[in-house]
A = this chain, B = another copy of it.
Amino acid sequence: MSNLIPEPAVKRMPMYYRYMQKLETEGRIYISSRELAELTGLTASQVRQDMNFFGSTGRQGCGYPVAEIRYDLGRLLGLDREQSFIIVGMGNLGMALVHYEPLAEKGFVLSAAFDNAEEKIGMCVGGIAIQPMNEIENVVKMQSVKLAVLTLPSNTAQEVGERLYQAGIRGFWNFAPVDLYLPQDASIVNVHLDASLEMLSYRMAHADLF
């Protein structure tokens, strides 16, 4: 399982994890590649290939063991343990993420929040007081936190990203609508919220074909 899983399969892992969680809750023991294909909108052979990448093999005539795959995927995704994160930029999006339940449910624990606006500093959100940005280096080092959410304006994201990297952050969940460029050992996900709206726009325009 320590082999590199191809990027497109990695992108599908959270989706599989979500369906496996749901199936487990519903009491399902096994699921066939065909049924998984129907759920996910993929082909059955794609599902079998993905499962193979994740190190999971089906039982002939039964299908894939739901609980086992949910467990394996959770471990691969690092969801089997708590992970602390900080949020930098406490505008509306930062505030929304503090209260976004799936994060806590998946073991992501908010450990600090930063903003530069004076009226926000000291404000309590999600049980945590917002701190000024010049505290970032101290806090990141003291708490040895590795994961940061960037909810910043486009023009400051890169600069703050570099500061966070210097302080020891290695995972960047970036919501600013610009790509971050950081050294190779940084893991970056640039979230392009509008991309999924564009996909929706495509589907609406071609709804008769679906």
Contacts and interface: CB of A to CB of B under 8 A. Distances in A.
Interface residues of A, number: 64
Contacts of A41: 7
Interface string A1-12: 011100110110
Contacts of A209: 2-4
A192 B18 contact: yes
A79 B189 CA distance: 24
A204 to B, nearest CB: 4
Nearest to A170: B204
A122 interface: no
Interface stretch (A25-33, A101-109, A111-119, A156-164): A101-109
A128 interface: no
A101 B157 CA distance: 15
Contacts of A4: 206, 209-210
Interface string A49-66: 000000000000000000
Contacts of A106: 194, 197-198
A78 B205 CA distance: 7
Interface of A: 2-4, 7-8, 10-11, 13-15, 17-18, 41-42, 76-79, 83, 91-93, 95-97, 99-103, 106, 108, 146-147, 154, 170-173, 177, 184-185, 187-189, 191-207, 209-210
CB-based closest 8 A-B pairs: A14-B195, A92-B96, A93-B96, A187-B203, A78-B201, A102-B194, A92-B95, A14-B198
22 contacts: A7-B42, A10-B203, A13-B199, A15-B195, A77-B198, A78-B198, A78-B201, A78-B202, A78-B205, A92-B95, A92-B99, A101-B154, A101-B177, A102-B194, A106-B194, A106-B198, A147-B200, A147-B201, A172-B200, A173-B197, A173-B200, A188-B200
